[in-house]
Structure 1
Amino acid sequence: MTTLDSAYDHSRLDGVRRKRMLAFLVDFTCICILWLIACVVVGFLGIITLGLAWLLYGAVFPIVAVLYSGISISNRSATPGMRAAGLIFRSETGEPPSFIQGAAHVILFYVTVTFLTPLILVISLFNSRKRLLHDMLIGVTVENA
């Protein structure tokens, strides 16, 4: 790991923590708008299926969040919020991020925030690449574009 860190261009990490907070706000807003649209669709499907589709309401937000992050990260190496903040998503291997990495990133983010809220942020203060806990778990770095 030290060879990767010593060869890494740390100037690409200036202001990343602050930009990630802005990116989260933009992405969360986009996900909530898509979630509301999906809830309306599920509501109409519930009418057509005599209430059966309404059982999907509990799964709508996670599905929207996973699809939003997975598709946007795999297609453009960043979510719309990350692009607005000038950030990109890089895997440790140098390969473009996959849908699975984008989906795992958002799933691990919400799981770790739920159970370890302060720890995911504190960890970024003590590692050289300013990565959060869920970044380390899937082997990615978020850096300036």
Structure 2
Amino acid sequence: MSYAPTSPGLPDPDLAPGFYSGIASKRLVAWLVDLVIVGGLTALAVLLTAFMGLFFLPLIWLVVDFSYRTVTLANRSATWGHRLMGIEFRDRTGRRFDLGMAGLHTLGYTLSMSFVLPQVVSVVLMLTGARRQSLTDVVLGSAAINRPAEAF
């Protein structure tokens, strides 16, 4: 039996493993898609500033990335990359992210991507944990799941 911290609203990985099947690889592809999107939006911002934005490129990237992730997670609990891969995030009660949770998740992601050790810990957790949670997900009690079919 695998270890899964208690989160009453998230599907149990032992009783409903389909919710977590392939999540780690899907998150990787989604991250790559989001990287391309943020890169394109950042390039557009640089063009719109008549290339003056190149002097502030890291700051522009940070603002665009943080805004993109927060807004998309708040709207449908998934970035465009996650939507493409058929996954979405749920909080510890099983609800989709609201603006506050999206902001906290994005902040945690941004901080963990800023340092090597948290990045490594996140990857190890996603590859070994029953719910395939990143470090930020473990701290917040959230998880990425395969998007359940919507009832008509």
Q: Which moved more, 1:84-93 or 1:98-107?
A: 98-107
| 1:45-91 Cα deviation digits (max 9, x unpaired) | x5xxxxxx887544211111111111111111211100111111111
Q: Which AA in structure 2 matches 1:109?
A: Y
TM-score, normalisation: structure 2: 0.77
* Other-structure match for 1:10: 17
Q: How many residues align?
A: 138
Shift of 1:93: 1.8
Decide whether the 8 Å contact of 2:20 with 2:145 is kept in 1.
yes
What are the ranges of 5 or more consecutive residues in structure 1 without an aligned counterpart?
47-52
* 1:99-114 to 2 correspondences below 5 Å: 99-114=99-114
Gaps of 5+ in 2: 148-152
What fraction of aligned residue pairs are identical, expressed as a percent? 25
Taking a change above 3 Å as real, the CA distance of residues 65 and 3 of structure 1, as seen in their structure-2 partners, is closer
Q: Is the 8 A contact 1:73 1:79 kept in 2?
A: yes
Q: Tell me whether 1:60 sits opposite 2:67 in the alignment.
A: no
Aligned residue runs from structure 1 range 100-139, under 5 A: 100-115=100-115, 116=117, 117-139=119-141
Mapped contact 1:74–1:99 kept (Cα < 8 A):
yes
Name the CA distance, whole Å, in 2 between partners of 1:6 and 1:56. Answer: 41
Q: Which has the larger radius of gyration?
A: 1
Matched, 1:29 2:36: yes
Paired AA for residue 8 in structure 2? L
More displaced stretch, 75-84 vs 102-111: 102-111
What is the one-letter code of the residue matched to 2:49? Answer: V
Q: Going by fraction, where is helix more abundant, 1 or 2?
A: 1
**Deviation of the 1:36 alpha carbon:** 0.7
Q: Alignment RMSD, CA only? A: 2.5
Tell me by how many angstroms 1:136 deviates.
1.5
Partner of 2:142: 140
